[in-house]
Amino acid sequence: MTGQIADLPTTASAEDLIEQAGSTGWAFFDGPTTDQKESEKRAQASTGQRMAQIAAILWGTSPEFRELLGYLAKGTLHRTMFLSPLNLPMEQAYAYGQFREGQNAAVFAMFKLIAEGQQLALKPRGE
């Protein structure tokens, strides 16, 4: 243990962060070393691959999961967004657009996990 933030699991609680910061002093804020960054990348990649496998299994075996994703897609990805008829001020229109983008991104991530789990070729976003 080097006393840095990267030593903690990504699910560390606030109490864990406070305890470690208090016990190591300013070194806690130095940031992760290169080895710690690489270790975290490997752990995240492994978790991502596992989640992709789970999503592909659910997609292939659960009609209820397919129905749920269809419902989510209909309410987000397939919903047209027209801001001009709402006569919103620019700031509100921007906030609404960001909110919708967040909804779409969450559902899109689910479909992306399924595609990765099925080892399908993914096109870059926007193509």
pLDDT tens by residue, 3-27 = 444 454 556 677 877 787 777 777 7
Question: Tell me, what's the pLDDT at 4?
Answer: 46
65: pLDDT strictly greater than 90: yes
Instruction: Write out the DSSP string of 63-84.
Output: HHHHHHHHHHHHHTTTS----G
Sequence-separated (6 or more) residues with CB below 8 Å from residue 85: none
Mean pLDDT of 115-122: 87
Return the residue matching tokens 């992709």.
52
Taking phi over 0 as left and psi of -120 to 50 as alpha, with beta for the rest, 25 belongs to left
Q: How many CB atoms lie within 10 A of CB 96?
A: 14
CA neighbor of 116 nearest in space, from 67, 45, 33: 45
| Spatial separation of the C-alpha atoms in residues 58 and 67, rounded to whole Å | 11
Taking phi over 0 as left and psi of -120 to 50 as alpha, with beta for the rest, 122 belongs to beta
Q: How confident is the model at residue 2 (pLDDT cuts 50, 70, 90)?
A: very low
